[in-house]
Amino acid sequence: MNRPTRAVTAALASLAATVLLQAMCSVASARPIQVTLRDGGIEPREIDVTQGTTVDIVVRNDGTQIHNFVVPDFYVFTQNLHPGETVRVSFVPDKTGKFRYYSDRDGIPEAGMQGTMKVASQPGTAG
């Protein structure tokens, strides 16, 4: 193979890997995590996810008041949801650890309306 052909082959291999990765991510996001907002609480209280894997969440407000859903560490901020309203959000956690999520309708976390997102490292990696 001459050099330009090798470069094209490498580019195609890279593209194929990217497409495969996207296909895997879309499979992972096929089953969204259900989050329910209630007046005074969020279910579940804990969400377990994996670093580098798309997190797909469907947030539903089952309360009688307006609520929202924020995960500041990952720049997730939904709009204010009216009772019965649903919104879907997705993001890719880029770090491991425990991170708080909550409803902050008036810019202040509401009493009881919070939970913990635990981000585990990808299998086979140190990070």
- Give the contact letters, 51-90, x = binds to Cu ion (CB under 5 A), - = no: ----------------x-----------------------
110 binds Cu ion (CB under 5 A): yes
Q: What is the DSSP letter of 93?
A: -
35 binds Cu ion (CB under 5 A): no
The minimum distance between CB 84 and Cu ion, in angstroms, equals 14
Q: Distances from the Cα of 50 to the Cαs of 22, 90, 102, 119, in angstroms?
A: 16, 13, 19, 5
The minimum distance between CB 58 and Cu ion, in angstroms, equals 17
Tokens representing 123 are: 């299998």
42 binds Cu ion (CB under 5 A): no
Kindly list the strands in the beta sheet with 33-38, ordered across the sheet, starting from the edge strand earlier in the chain: 41-43, 33-38, 55-61, 86-91
Cβ atoms 53, 26 nearer than 8 A: no
Cβ atoms 26, 45 nearer than 8 A: no
- Give the contact letters, 90-109, x = binds to Cu ion (CB under 5 A), - = no: -------------x-x----
Closest to Cu ion by CB, 46 vs 94, is: 46
**Interface with Cu ion: number of residues (CB under 5 A):** 5
Site for Cu ion, rule CB under 5 A:
67, 103, 105, 110, 113
